[in-house]
Chain A
Amino acid sequence: MTMVSFIVNSKPVTLETDLSRRLLDVLRDDLGLTGTKEGCGEGECGACQVYLDGDLVNSCMVPMANVIGKSVLTIEGFSETEAYRQIEAAYIEEGAVQCGYCIPGMVMATGALLRSNPHPDLEAIKDGLSGNICRCTGYQTIFKAVERASKEEVKK
């Protein structure tokens, strides 16, 4: 067990943990941030995606040793941002959510995509979300939601 310090959703956190523990477990079990979901535990489905120093990562594949001193943003933190509000409105409007289990990860991936490419075409949207599995929607409404979010003016 080691004391580690990092930032979660803009707040500093210090806790004692095994360095080989998964970031996903620390978020869910130690910090109660259950918006991040475990779909597979193998980095294949994207349900556990968060930002680590701004990069989109599968938190099930990140050992705590790689989190020391870094900044983590989860869906709970991202949902406080303006960028999120546009995405949320677009997902609601397009009916892009069914069971919802993949959606927090999908929204994190959408945010990352729109940050790197504010106006993606359909191919870029498909590429940007290719690490996120959804079994309900057939993705069509999600594509439309991303497109809609990219067209909304950013409200400052």
Chain B
Amino acid sequence: MKITDVVNRVDTQEKIRGAAQYIEDIPFDNLHYARTLRSTLPKGKILKVAYPRGFPGITVVDAGDILARNEVSMVTTDMPIFADGEVNYVGEAIALIVGRDKDEIIAFMKGIEVTYDPGTPLFTCDDAEENLFTRRHYSKGDLASLEGLEVFEGRYRTPYQEQLYMEKQGVVAEVKEGVVEIFGSMQCPYYVVNALKNALDYPEEKIRVVQTVTGGAFGGKEDYPSIMACQTALAALKIKAPVQLVYDRREDIQFTTKRHPSDITIKSYYREGRIEGMKIDVGIDAGPYLGLSDVVLQRAILTMTGAYGVPHLEVSGTVYKTNNIFNGAFRGFGGPQSLFALESHMSQLAARLGVDPLDFREKHFVHQGELTSTGGRFHEEIHLEEMTRILKEMSGYPHLARDGRGRLVGYGVAVVPHGGGFTGDGEAEHIKAVVKLRKDTEQFIHILVSNVEMGQGALTALSKIVASALDVPMERIIYKNPDTRLVPDSGPTAASRTTMVVGRLLYDAALKMKDALEEREEVVVTEHYHQPAYLAWDQENLRGNAYLSYSWAALLARVEVDPVTLEVTCTDIHGVYDVGLPIDEKMLLGQVHGGVIQGLGYGMMETMDSKEGLIQHNSFSSYAVPTTEDIPAIHTRWLINPYIEGPFGAKAAGELTLVGVAPAIATAVADALGREIYEIPVLPEKLLKVVKS
């Protein structure tokens, strides 16, 4: 087959029929269930946990059952598997309560009494020493030389966002012949392997992790399954039976990782309608454990100048330690926060200068060959002017109709990048992806990678790449959900890297296999990741090429605002996307639609507050995400710009589709109201304050 052939997704039919087995659908003999005993305090010492008597079927698994280390190893090891003597957030796991009968577990839990010595929690991001996790900084040019220029300063705030994957978090742990086996809904099987190795002090041969059909993740199943795997592994080892831990929805919303709330200040120094310098300060709330937060902060600050060349820069960022819920990965990974601030700022300054917001952006666009904000070079072709031209053409810009039949009409734009793959030299230094292709004696070709299908289409995309590279029918490709006993570590399913990085390795492997395709015996080809020689990165000083490549999006949103109730309706989103060569337009459209609507939720609907460290919006009714009634018309065009390192020219796509939507909508609402907006979501109660100010 050819890469241009139109295909249907390989995993659709069994999902429609309800035959696909998610973790909660898989039967296990003698399955025991677990629920989590959670802290009700944001900070304190545990003085005593009193368990009720008379429950012979119940087993408690807690910090006393730790085998080697009470650490959930992610990037750091600061998070305990079970609280040991102290708690640091509301909802922190103290123990698993395990039994055969769910009703008995609930009855037992009602009788538990935990006595605490309350501590003094931190809920705000202040610059006190005990409130700081990490600080990062980079600069360019000489910002001090701009003293005396006109300045515009804005402070931007973004809220929590919950991934709200439709399938809740879930794993099953089982011990078979001394091997700890984890089955579950996850993005990164080898993250789970590494966490178990550390927690149990087991060699890799005694650990097996199998991804089950995963009902959405969006970053929420990047780090979190490692926690549940460590907890249930200890439980399964203790009771010598399989243990299932599946959260209920309220528990999942309240106590698993979210998108970091942020507080970002941008001060622009400008002259003759052009920004000459920016001073930027980014703060994000990690919660009590660092986890992935320092990595999120790096992407946030490295994305801070977006699609623009700014000659003089001071960019700093802080990860704050609080006793709020701990935060983690969510599609965009720091980018949505930065780009809401930057794109709002650009439109505000354009309006203050009385110039068109797209023309103002165009004056600042980066170009191929120029230096990035961190002193790397843009090696690839960049077509931002052409993308803007297409955007104008498809939307009729700037002659946009203002008649809203009694409603206020507004338009907003955003032009945004997303860096593909891990930040800096992460792919070469940390991930070190390995992929395998195996041709069996029946002439089927097996894709052996640890990257997962979580809805985004990995099974189909990677199968299509291999089938096209080999020019064989898709039916000859076999790609199953990863089982770490069978597949090498090709890295996590994150950072929009699966098609671009892993897909390229498979493409290279396929080309090597091509000559051996007609041989009768088994053939195995292994490929290792090597960073292109033209890229360099200094992690210590954040200098060099922050990303392998950049994907781009140019967006225009049209909104209508009710002048009385201030309710916002988004009627249209126009988007032009450069994702290299789109290797499957149908699947990419699915990514665009889904990303746009998650971005729309982030910008105008999804509200989540924390009170004394407890998330207040914990159900589908209180945490409102877009339904069918909230969906605008989505108009999509591609800018074809093949990426030399990508398989068939493909670049990152999954996260790009989300990151620019909230500022496009928020600036459209600002346009409709004739006011500036510094905070999302643009809910009526927030807009009332904006209108009154």
CA distance A39 to B13 in the complex (A): 20
Instruction: Find out whether the CB atom of B455 lies under 8 angstroms from the CB atom of A136.
Output: yes
Query: B248 touching A41 by the CB < 8 A rule?
Result: yes
- Is A6 in the interface zone, CB < 8 Å from B? no
- Residues from chain A with Cβ under 8 Å of B626 in the complex: 138-139
Tell whether B315 is near chain A: CB-to-CB under 8 Å: no
Please encode chain A, from 25 to 56, with 1 for each CB lying within 8 Å of some chain B CB and 0 for all others.
00010001111111111101101000000000
Give Cα distance in the complex from A73 to B249, angstroms.
25
Q: Mark A48-74, 1 if CB is under 8 A from B, else 0.
A: 000000000000000000000000001
A99-B167, A125-B628, A126-B629 known; A34-B18 Cβ under 8 A: yes
Q: Are B214 and A99 in contact (CB under 8 A)?
A: yes
Nearest B residue to A95, CB-CB: B586
* A17, chain B: closest CB distance, angstroms: 13
**Once the chains bind, are A136 and B625 in contact (CB under 8 Å)?**
no
Per the bound structure, the CA–CA distance linking A45 and B252 in Å amounts to 15
Residues of A within 8 A of B631 (CB): 126, 138-140, 143
Which residue of B has the minimal Cβ distance to A79?
A: B17
Contact pick for A135, options B21, B456, B598, CB 8 Å: B598
Are A100 and B16 in contact (CB-based, < 8 A)? yes
Residues of A within 8 A of B (CB-CB), count: 51
Tell yes or no: B20 within 8 A of A by CB. yes
Residues of B within 8 A of A87 (CB): 16
Answer whether A99 and B12 are a contact pair too, CB < 8 Å, given A135-B165, A136-B590, A137-B590.
no
Q: Write the nearest CB–CB distance from A147 to chain B, whole angstroms.
A: 13
* Binary contact readout A1-41 vs B (1 if CB under 8 angstroms, 0 otherwise): 00000000000000000000000000010001111111111
Q: Are B628 and A126 in contact (CB under 8 A)?
A: yes
Provided the pairs A40-B619, A107-B16, A133-B625 are in contact, do residues A100 and B593 lie with their beta carbons within 8 angstroms? no
CA distance A93 to B457 in the complex (A): 15
Chain A residues near B120 (CB-CB < 8 A): none
For the residues of B in contact with A, the DSSP-based class is loop
Decide if A99 touches B18 in the complex (CB within 8 Å). Answer: no
Shortest C-beta distance, A29 to chain B (Å), equals 9
A44, B167: Cα distance in complex, Å: 14
The answer, among A32, A41, A98, A101, for a CB contact under 8 Å with B249, is: A41
Q: Which residue of B lies closest to A123 (CB)?
A: B629
Closest-CB distance, B596 to chain A (whole angstroms): 6
Which B residues are in CB contact (< 8 Å) with A93?
8
Q: Write the B311-354 contact mask toward A (1 if CB under 8 angstroms, else 0).
A: 00000000000000000000000000000000000000000000
Which has the most chain B C-beta neighbours within 10 Å: A76, A134, A143? Answer: A134
B11 — which chain A residues lie within 8 A by C-beta? 97, 100
Query: In the complex, which residues of chain B have a beta carbon less than 8 angstroms from the beta carbon of A42?
Result: 249, 619-621
Given contact pairs A75-B17, A100-B15, A138 touches B597 in the complex (Cβ within 8 A): yes
How far, in angstroms, from A36 to B24 measured CA to CA in the complex? 11
Q: What's the A-B contact tally at a CB cutoff of 8 Å?
A: 165
8 A Cβ contacts from B231-289 to A? 248-249
Chain A residue nearest to B167 (CB atoms) is A101
> Which residues of chain A are within 8 angstroms of B595 by Cβ–Cβ distance?
138
Report if A150 contacts B (CB, 8 A): no
For B19, the chain A residues whose CB sits under 8 A away are 35
Closest-CB distance, A6 to chain B (whole angstroms): 19
Q: Are A99 and B165 interface neighbours, CB within 8 A?
A: yes
Chain B residues whose C-beta falls within 8 Å of the C-beta of A98 in the assembled complex: 216, 455-457, 590, 594
CA distance A133 to B626 in the complex (A): 8
Q: How far is B217's CA from A97's CA once the two chains are assembled, in angstroms?
A: 15
In the complex the two chains form, what is the Cα distance from A28 to B26 in whole Å? 11
CB proximity to A under 8 Å, residues B385-407: none
B residues near A41, Cβ cutoff 8 Å: 248-249
Given contacts A99-B165, A126-B631, contact A45 B455 (CB under 8 A): no
Q: Judge whether A104 and B249 touch: CB under 8 Å.
A: no
Which residues in B have their C-beta under 8 angstroms from that of A37?
18, 22, 166-167, 215
In the complex, B218 has a CB within 8 A of chain A: yes
B215 A100 Cβ-Cβ under 8 A: yes
Tell me if B662 counts as interface (CB < 8 A to partner A).
no
Quick check: is B454 within 8 A (CB to CB) of the other chain?
yes
Q: With A and B bound together, what is the CA distance between A91 and B248 in angstroms?
A: 29
Contact of A99 among B16, B24, B454 (CB under 8 A): B454
- State A56–B679 Cα separation when bound (angstroms): 40
**Cα-based distance from A90 to B166 in the complex (angstroms):** 22
* Assembled-state Cα–Cα distance A98/B593 (Å): 11
Q: How far is the CB of A102 from chain B (nearest CB, A)?
A: 5
Q: Is B290 an interface residue (CB 8 A)?
A: no
Min C-beta distance of B627 to chain A, whole Å: 6
Interchain CB contact (< 8 A) of A138 among B12, B20, B217, B596: B596
On whether the beta carbons of A140 and B249 are closer than 8 Å, the reply is no
> Are A92 and B13 closer than 8 Å at their CB atoms?
yes
**Alpha-carbon gap, A100 to B166, bound state (A):** 9
Question: Which residues of A lie under 8 Å from residue B455 when comparing CB positions?
Answer: 98-100, 136
Of all chain A residues, which has the CB nearest B622? A44
With both beta carbons as reference points, the residue of chain B lying nearest to A32 in the complex is identified as: B27
B634 CB–A CB distance under 8 Å? yes
Q: Which of B21, B587, B628 contacts A139 (CB 8 A)?
A: B628
Q: Give the distance to chain A from B664, nearest Cβ to Cβ, in Å.
A: 15
Report whether A103 and B16 are in contact in the complex, using a CB–CB cutoff of 8 Å: yes
| Closest Cβ–Cβ distance, residue B459 to chain A (whole Å) | 11
Establish whether residues A92 and B167, one from each chain, have CB atoms under 8 Å apart when the complex forms. no
Interface centre among B20, B22, B619 (most CB of A within 10 A): B20
Closest 9 CB pairs of A and B: A35-B18, A100-B15, A99-B455, A101-B215, A138-B593, A44-B620, A138-B597, A34-B25, A98-B455
- A–B complex contacts, Cβ < 8 Å, 12 sampled: A38-B24, A42-B249, A95-B8, A98-B456, A99-B15, A126-B631, A130-B627, A135-B216, A136-B594, A138-B590, A138-B592, A140-B593
Chain B interface residues (CB < 8 Å from chain A): 8-9, 11-13, 15-22, 24-25, 27, 163-168, 213-218, 248-249, 454-457, 586-587, 589-590, 592-598, 619-621, 625-629, 631, 634
Known: A104-B16, A135-B216, A135-B218. 17 other contacts (CB 8 A): A33-B18, A34-B21, A36-B18, A37-B18, A42-B621, A91-B12, A95-B590, A99-B166, A99-B214, A99-B215, A100-B213, A100-B455, A101-B22, A137-B593, A138-B597, A138-B631, A139-B626
